[in-house]
Amino acid sequence: MVKRMKVKILAASRGSKQLIKIGKLFLIVMILGNTVGTGSVWARSKKAAPSSSASVSTPPQVPLSTEEILKKSQISYIADGGFTAVRSYSVIISCAGGKISTLCSIIDPRITKSESKPIYRKGSMDIEDYLAMWKKLNNLAVFQKKDAPLPKHDILDEFTMNFSAQVGMQKNSFKVVGITRPEGYQYQAIKSILDKSSQMGMLWDFHKSLASKSSLVRNVE
């Protein structure tokens, strides 16, 4: 019985040693695997970091002083060439010597019976609102903006919109064809700021009522 027990114990001890060896080997493989895995993940994250940071870009800005803005500045757009009854429409917001003025216009021959005579709306802005407007425009890099790519196929919105910006000696002009296209979303943001600041929507409402009356007159005739 003693000899048999020794054999069993010896066999068990040999098996334990083999298990220990296997366990050590397995542990080494796991450590190496984790090290490689961690390294590869770190390498991937290290490579991916530049692309993620590159995707978050701050639009370039130019220094705009309050003194320059209030002394001489102007931002405007004019849209023409569309296929609608409206020949053109525009917004001009300017400041000279601290006096701020806005001018919105729409040329529609159905209403004015002329290809060049517009209906228009004049207004003004508070200095605080005017300065806030320029801050938003500068955040949109209005002085670095270039012409938008031309459409590659026919589109419904064929208006060509020309923008012009000036503060002091700094000037920039750019245009976009079909501002409602996906490629025109940045230009649409600039246009929206000008429309809101000048209350262009009120002129469009007035134009709509006049155009409706004009069409009723023609139908009667």
Task: Based on the fold, state whether residues 72 and 46 are members of the same structural domain.
Answer: no
Task: Based on the fold, state whether residues 94 and 188 are members of the same structural domain.
Answer: yes
3-state secondary structure of 75: strand
**What global pTM score does this model have?**
0.69
**CATH number of the domain to which 182 belongs:** 3.30.1560
The sign of the dihedral angle between the CA atoms of 26, 31, 36, 40 is positive
Percent of the chain topping pLDDT 70: 67
Task: Based on the fold, state whether residues 103 and 192 are members of the same structural domain.
Answer: yes
3-state secondary structure of 128: helix
**What is the rounded average pLDDT of the residues 89-117?**
94
Q: Is residue 180 part of a domain?
A: yes
Q: Is residue 88 part of a domain?
A: yes
Task: Based on the fold, state whether residues 186 and 83 are members of the same structural domain.
Answer: yes
44 vs 38: CA distance, rounded Å: 10
Return the pLDDT at 152. Answer: 77
Tens of pLDDT, residues 134-183: 999 999 999 999 998 887 766 666 789 999 999 999 999 999 988 888 87
Q: Is residue 56 part of a domain?
A: no
Return the pLDDT at 63. Answer: 84
Q: Is residue 214 part of a domain?
A: yes
Return the pLDDT at 35. Answer: 42
Task: Based on the fold, state whether residues 38 and 135 are members of the same structural domain.
Answer: no
**What is the rounded average pLDDT of the residues 14-22?**
44
Q: Are 184 and 178 in contact (CB under 8 A)?
A: yes
Task: Based on the fold, state whether residues 71 and 156 are members of the same structural domain.
Answer: yes
Tens of pLDDT, residues 104-113: 999 999 898 8
Tally of domains within the chain: 2
**What is the rounded average pLDDT of the residues 78-106?**
93
Task: Based on the fold, state whether residues 85 and 10 are members of the same structural domain.
Answer: no
Tens of pLDDT, residues 58-67: 455 678 999 9
91 vs 133: CA distance, rounded Å: 14
Task: Based on the fold, state whether residues 24 and 79 are members of the same structural domain.
Answer: no
The domain containing residue 44 runs over which residues?
A: 1-50
Task: Based on the fold, state whether residues 165 and 89 are members of the same structural domain.
Answer: yes
- Of 136, 139, 194, the C-alpha closest to 163 is 194
Return the pLDDT at 179. Answer: 84
Q: Are 111 and 119 in contact (CB under 8 A)?
A: yes
Write out the E strands in the chain.
72-80, 88-96, 99-107, 119-123, 160-167, 170-177
87 vs 107: CA distance, rounded Å: 6
Task: Based on the fold, state whether residues 182 and 149 are members of the same structural domain.
Answer: yes
| 44 has pLDDT over 50 | no
Return the pLDDT at 215. Answer: 60
Residues 6+ apart with CB under 8 A from 139: 59, 61
43 vs 24: CA distance, rounded Å: 28
Task: Based on the fold, state whether residues 79 and 14 are members of the same structural domain.
Answer: no
Return the pLDDT at 155. Answer: 64
Q: Is residue 55 part of a domain?
A: no
Q: Are 186 and 140 in contact (CB under 8 A)?
A: yes
Task: Based on the fold, state whether residues 83 and 144 are members of the same structural domain.
Answer: yes
